[in-house]
Structure 1
């Protein structure tokens, strides 16, 4: 276990190597991400996440939606695939396809749907799972039940309020707070902010800074966190380890925002990623 000073994430050989696709690879070599959506009228957040996962290079991305939202989603997506997923039993059936190697639950999911689907998603410890938003809040009254189900391939991406509901309010030392949360939960924890802090259960920690000359204040807009969840899920699908996927994802997310600048809306973020990747020579 280590409590060394956290390192700051930035572009470098490790990020470039992780993000570069090898020549001649098949789409399944880059993973298949499944993003679970909420019901009718609540699908936008999951669609943003799915777009982020696809743009960061997941080989395939599927949205799992309840039947009532199927037509709504079908009218909005093209390269992103669509599967009906009504409940926990349906998700169990979907996950019989072992090629689905990374899941994203939370954006727009609803608390009831989260309580039904999260335990199913966590049942296979070899599969990466990102939990955000409703998938975290659904366990605010019994966080120990969530922590007992988590495994080392999990990433939690709370904002400050969601973090407080699960772990208590972060103290003045955000790094120490996130390290403690990661140890308690047994998962990688990412606490969003101008300085996003990410920690692993073994005490390793990184910071993705968006302050000073690297500031990206335009990220304070609805849906930006959903895109971040999707970017990290896409990196997990590509086989990148949870701490690195979360750290790289946070940096890429802020860099995409810096490219767009004032007037940014969440839909802009996935579309800015190709330029970021090109400049990294990935």
Structure 2
């Protein structure tokens, strides 16, 4: 009887193997596009003169190519209010840097990138950000009243339309938690936002423990950047959800002046920010 079972198992194994076909799926690939990561963030208490812009190219989904940094481009930022020009020098690895940038609250800045004979431009205004008034921990603000969470509070200036970007980065995680904030319902009041992690073995999420450290960045944002962040976060959080809308290519504020069909990816932002960190007790 044991021999019969063994023989039957081997036969089924060969039948299963013979019925397995390798199917090659052709995944449509879009054109290679320039990606512009131009985040000029001015931390309060610093001069803000050292800034970096990253240029790279997009890659096909299954491409394992690691370094797609763009070299040989011309990168410049201009203060439209006083005409000051800031040249970003090519570091030959996709990084373009300057140590001479001058941030001025309320001024408008324009980016110009010239790459492979095409000119890309974008414009943003530098808005002020309010200070963080307190950072605390609790267990009663979030979804689970037994899980540690960090709370960030700030006072929103009254009668001014403000947009904010709040970033939490646990030092135990690779990806940050992002919040886009509009002061429509908090104008002139103190607002508090919390960040908690609820344990999930399937997604390898572990709740906060005493001693864990969270880095916090609070930035000003323009209305356009707020809308861009909203779409970015909604698409990220909806990934893998069968009922979520089909993701579309997320286009930022950069424009190709010479070839409008060759739209770049990425965004040019100019922000003021405050940074802090919190250690759970």
Question: With structure 2 as the length reference, what TM-score do the two structures score?
Answer: 0.29
Larger CA Rg, structure 1 vs 2: 2
Larger strand fraction of residues: 2
Larger helix fraction of residues: 1
Question: With structure 1 as the length reference, what TM-score do the two structures score?
Answer: 0.29
